[in-house]
Structure 1
């Protein structure tokens, strides 16, 4: 049975036939990872599917190492590590081809009194999509994730402290049809099993950095796309581990090309109309704003107005900013362009396919937060009818006149927690919660001694 057809009603029959034994109930955490528990099918159907499932509330207040502490909007440390309730979303139930006998369902976190947990990533996106719906609009999104594939296993990588790892290609294989012999068997399995899990693959190819690959799945309603995104990252890592290999989505593994997560986003009317396109403006006509409706011009202008304040939601880690460096073919400025890949906001397509490609997020981005930031920024532009400046026609990566993005996590944190705009749109609790997450990462890094420091100072100072 395919993932799309698996429902709470058919799950029992699948269990009775011996095809499904367990259901993983999972919640996306602050980093966009899936955290949860395995339930027997009878317990899931008879109890959790109806009443929800209790999970420790610290799951939405931890760093990447699962450490928590005071300062978050959810203060598990000082309130006894209680539970919130995970309510499964039936639309996300699917079998996992790489975990035979197992289904997975994503859940939304609620407090015991029924209130949603507002700092949960999925809830943050839901509130922005609801605001969009009140204007008669819906968001369609697609994410393009790049990752590196290694010949080594995760255990081998850990035991070597991530030194001397062997990439699965030896040179630049961008669009290449050769040189992929060590890469293709693993990524073929990932492609096939993601399709069996219900994702619709569009394209796949080698990329620039040795060992780098990109699989693009078809766009969908924004929440569904983000759900597919976190499923893909989780599944790709599990499949790689089963094959004795390792993959990483970290934005910058070394000095080579980084891993991006370009977000394509378009708006439609609730009737399916292409509201970003101007039906009275021939897209083939001259002019940088050709084919763009007034609503789209405001939507793009909102991206530029909010980008510096919202960068933290798209680049949440110290390593994020190693990718967003001059000369790294990732955006460093705040501008837009028509089919210009050097700009953070690239306008592409025509008619129903007219959309923006947001090029700031890297492979570490939490998709719910990044897409929420794009939607919120666009809504801000629409509501305030912001004018769209002229597009950038040349290389925005090398133009010193282009306003700069925050260059470090410290800068992004400062913009985020001092932003009246962020507080107005997302609320004080959300701003404070994710500011604490950034402060936690900074504190962990600042207390660490790196290999760079040892090489530079061990003997010579």
Structure 2
């Protein structure tokens, strides 16, 4: 029996008066959703069939929506023309916090129908297609942490994000008390995400005051990334409606940062898990050993896709309980690659990405790295059993965005597996971020130098 057509269900809901608008959105380079609201009749009669035009600069801009030369998409020379957003009906879902509205994610294509290869969804699809050629499918889960503040977004902006009140007063990691001020908003986020179709697994307070984590069920990699951007967008909207603010930025202050640990496993075409081998002494198949070895080999070159901003590297520093070296371990949270689970649940946990990571490019990087290890039959070194954060013998991850950019641009592996346009496009995004940071005067500089220098 075939699944019901989501567009027919949408038509029925519109006729019943429960839906009157459709948001068509594309994930941008930062993993944010950009798009437009369409009436249901216009969507069904036009956009669902022919696509919907949107300006090409949406996939060639920084966090401030600034664009310029250097990207693979040159919006200025293209006259700020349009590409076509083609809705993916599998992503259509209602927004419980926005009555009468549904959202559908779209793929960016050129007018002739060719995919925009630098679009985050397409970057991931390319790597998943490479996996499929080997008869493999990737399953992923993302664990997002965020900080909740009792101030509204407007109040936080007017205060330039200084002196904000966290929604818990102290470390509430696994705590069942001290959550009275944070629970109203996170309870609403949990419940409305479930109403929207996400399958929640766990939720708990975290280490930083005001920090919380909600974990949703793993799924096929593209679906997980779609759920990830849907969740981030919706959580912020719900927080705004509740008069509070939340942030996913990797490092808000000197306290614990916000991570986005990515769990990743592989299955054969028939759904059989392929990473485990009960006959092996460590329970890992040869394919998994190559897959993990590929993560280690590519981590320095692919770090930019997992840590794309200046602030990303404030989290990846010694003493921050985030990975700083290149190694792996069994159930060792001090390693960037943690092998966890057993049997059919055996998987890697990639601990480098922070809350700012674009899930599509981060998962694409992990898949591409694993494929590199498989294709080259890389040997896996012994697991790290001690504290990798305190071991000076462990090779280091890039410590700054500048270093990550250099590794990415000069990487022969990246050029081969992602292609020159993708490498150049995301390099330009990093250069734009660095240029903005290097010309900014920070509060730290004023405090340090206003009077005393």
- Quickly name the TM-score band, shorter chain normalised: over 0.9
* Structure 1 unmatched ranges of 5 or more: none
1:431 maps to 2:430: no
Compute the displacement of 1:75 (Å): 0.2
Matches of 1:143 and 1:197, distance apart in 2: 17
Distance 1:406 1:427 in 2: 22
Report the equivalent of 1:132: 131
Residue 280 of structure 1 deviates from its aligned partner by 2.3
Q: Distance in 2 between matches of 1:6 and 1:213?
A: 36
TM normalised by structure 2 equals 0.99
Q: Which residue of 1 aligns with 2:38?
A: 39
Is 1:295–1:382's contact at 8 Å kept on the other side of the alignment?
yes
Give the alignment of 1:5-404 within 5 angstroms. Answer: 7-281=6-280, 290-404=282-396
Q: Deviation digits for residues 358-415 of structure 1, max 9, x if unmatched?
A: 0000000000000000000000000000000111010000100000000000000000
Once the two structures are TM-superposed, the CA of residue 5 in structure 1 deviates from its matched residue by: 6.9
SS of equivalent to 2:386:
coil
Shift of 1:6: 7.4
CA distance in 2, matches of 1:229, 1:5: 24
Shift of the alpha carbon at 1:47?
0.6
Aligned to 2:86, the other structure's residue is in SS state: strand
Moved more, 265-274 or 297-306: 265-274
1:149-181 Cα distance to aligned partner (Å, 9 max, x none): 000000000000001100000000000000000
**Contact 1:265–1:356, Cα closer than 8 Å, also in 2:** yes
In the aligned structure 1, how far is the partner of 2:49 from the partner of 2:278? 47
Distance apart, 1:419 and its partner CA:
0.5
- The offset of 1:232, in angstroms, is 0.2
- Find the counterpart in structure 2 of residue 457 from structure 1: 449
8 Å Cα contact 1:6/1:94 also seen in 2? no
Contact 1:6 1:93 in 2 (8 A): no
Q: How far apart, in 2, do the equivalents of 1:319 and 1:397 lie? A: 19
Tell me, yes or no, if the aligned pair for 1:326 and 1:332 is still in contact at 8 Å: yes
Task: Give the Cα–Cα distance (whole angstroms) in 2 for the partners of residues 304 and 374 of structure 1.
Answer: 10
How far the C-alpha of 1:351 sits from its partner, in A, is 1.0
- Runs of 4+ aligned residues of structure 1 deviating over 6 Å after TM superposition are none
State how far apart, in whole Å, the 2-side matches of 1:411 and 1:136 are: 35
| Conserved? CA contact 1:88–1:108, under 8 Å | yes
Deviations, residues 236-292 of structure 1 (Å, cap 9, x unaligned): 0000000110000000000000000000000000111111011423xxx5xxxx100
Residue in 1 that maps onto 2:412? 420
SS of residue matched to 1:397: helix
Decide whether the 8 Å contact of 1:6 with 1:95 is kept in 2: no
Is the Cα contact below 8 Å between 1:348 and 1:355 reproduced in 2? yes
> TM-score, normalised on structure 1?
0.97
How many corresponding residue pairs?
451
Distance (Å, rounded) in 2 between the aligned partners of 1:20 and 1:138: 35
Query: Considering only aligned residues, what root-mean-square deviation do their CA atoms show, in Å?
Result: 0.8
Corresponding residue SS for 1:391: coil
Distance 1:221 1:83 in 2: 30
C-alpha spacing 1:185/1:311, structure 2 compared with 1 (3 Å): same
CA distance in 1: counterparts of 2:145 and 2:449, whole angstroms? 34
Conserved? CA contact 1:314–1:365, under 8 Å: yes
Q: SS in structure 1 opposite 2:396? A: coil
For 2:293, what is the secondary structure of its paired residue? Answer: helix
